[in-house]
Amino acid sequence: CKEKKYNYENLPSTSVVIAFYNEAWSTLLRTVYSVLETSPDILLEEVILVDDYSDREHLKERLANELSRLPKVRLLRAGKREGLVRARLLGASVARGDVLTFLDCHCECHEGWLEPLLQRIQEKESAVVCPVIDVIDWNTFEYLGNSGEPQIGGFDWRLVFTWHVVPQRERDLMQSPIDVIRSPTMAGGLFAVSKRYFEYLGSYDTGMEVWGGENLEFSFRIWQCGGTLETHPCSHVGHVFPKQAPYSRTKALANSMRAAEVCMDEYKELYYYQNPWARMEPFGDVTERKMLRANLQCKDFKWFLETVYLQNKGLNGYCFDYNPPNENQVDGLQVILYPCHGMGQNQFFEYTSKKEIRYNTRQPEACVAVEEGKDDLVMHLCEDHVPEDQKFILHE
């Protein structure tokens, strides 16, 4: 990465957009100063700070005074609490750069972080590019970096973001260790996108409140509507991962439901299966977002799952399939291999930290254990000390 040369004249310029709500003075200013100190002058159009109606004293006059002495820094104030999505869009609406670079308000940009992001977008306008997120220690604020290789983003059926190691098939596509890595989802706050492409994609769902869910919804939409989401291994930005959420995030549920309703087609049932209480919650009107999806002729969620996220389609198209026992059956548990129908339900199994593949983790009925050093999978009741005669071997 250090040897890579960039032709600054050819790269697009960027507006860095940072929304904040009641952020601490030190972390917010650290973010701003690090952007100014590590971004080549010719590439940085401006830094736009959006105050999402904070009430802490230090973020009022004192902040305005501090920032007025800095070049390129603009401060916008929301007139009411807008939440992350609308606050970011407020910043984007006044941005003058070719590329929008969104950052959280508790980051530290690392030398050389910006050039790879802009270079990639110049190469491919429909690429949305994330930096590698380094860790800043929550207690000492020390920049710890990131041990090992970058990871890519995924999600589970509760619509919680998950990290994954780069799969072999993706490694095989890379011609160099500093190539971009395609990622099914993004963790959240940190990415660069062409301003024009962001608008074409329908920016963010403004029906989302406060925080949460917008990262997965945007990730799904990027892929389904023709773009790519990537991580650039040469771009590093440190981020403070808080131990607990600094403010209430109860709106995240409704936001996730909007993501499920708009993007996930029949697979939203898997989300509701994992969040049964969500069925009772209001999530607002998504008609416009569905129309946007139709107008852009976006692909369906099945395509996203099969092409972008999951490339393992079971054992040659066969999946575990659980048939609940009826009274006449003596041998109780019936797990068979059956052609994958892709709808979850009786083919919905989860791999647990106990190294078991479980059916119905909320009310476990049946487990498939992977036994060390054996090729066979063992099926048993989900209890400890299962007698030998209650185990079932599944042969491929």
- The residue written with tokens 């983790």 in the block is 361
- Looking at beta carbons only, is 104 or 115 nearer to Mn ion? 104
CB of 335 vs Mn ion, minimal distance in Å: 41
- Looking at beta carbons only, is 160 or 337 nearer to Mn ion? 160
Could you tell me which residues are beta bridge partners of residue 48? 17, 74
- Looking at beta carbons only, is 104 or 108 nearer to Mn ion? 104
- Looking at beta carbons only, is 27 or 224 nearer to Mn ion? 27
CB of 107 vs Mn ion, minimal distance in Å: 8
CB of 148 vs Mn ion, minimal distance in Å: 21
CB of 45 vs Mn ion, minimal distance in Å: 23
Give the dihedral of Cα atoms 169, 191, 255, 75; nearest 10 deg.
180
CB of 239 vs Mn ion, minimal distance in Å: 6
Comparing every residue's Cβ against Mn ion, the nearest one is 104
Report the amino acid identity of residue 198: F
- Looking at beta carbons only, is 48 or 270 nearer to Mn ion? 48
CB of 177 vs Mn ion, minimal distance in Å: 27
- The residue written with tokens 């996730």 in the block is 256
CB of 187 vs Mn ion, minimal distance in Å: 9
- The residue written with tokens 């599944």 in the block is 394
CB of 240 vs Mn ion, minimal distance in Å: 7
Distance CA 113, CA 233 (A): 10
- Looking at beta carbons only, is 82 or 104 nearer to Mn ion? 104
- Looking at beta carbons only, is 86 or 106 nearer to Mn ion? 106
- Looking at beta carbons only, is 14 or 31 nearer to Mn ion? 31
- Positive/negative CA dihedral, 151, 154, 156, 159: positive
Which residues of this chain interact with Mn ion, rule CB under 5 A?
104
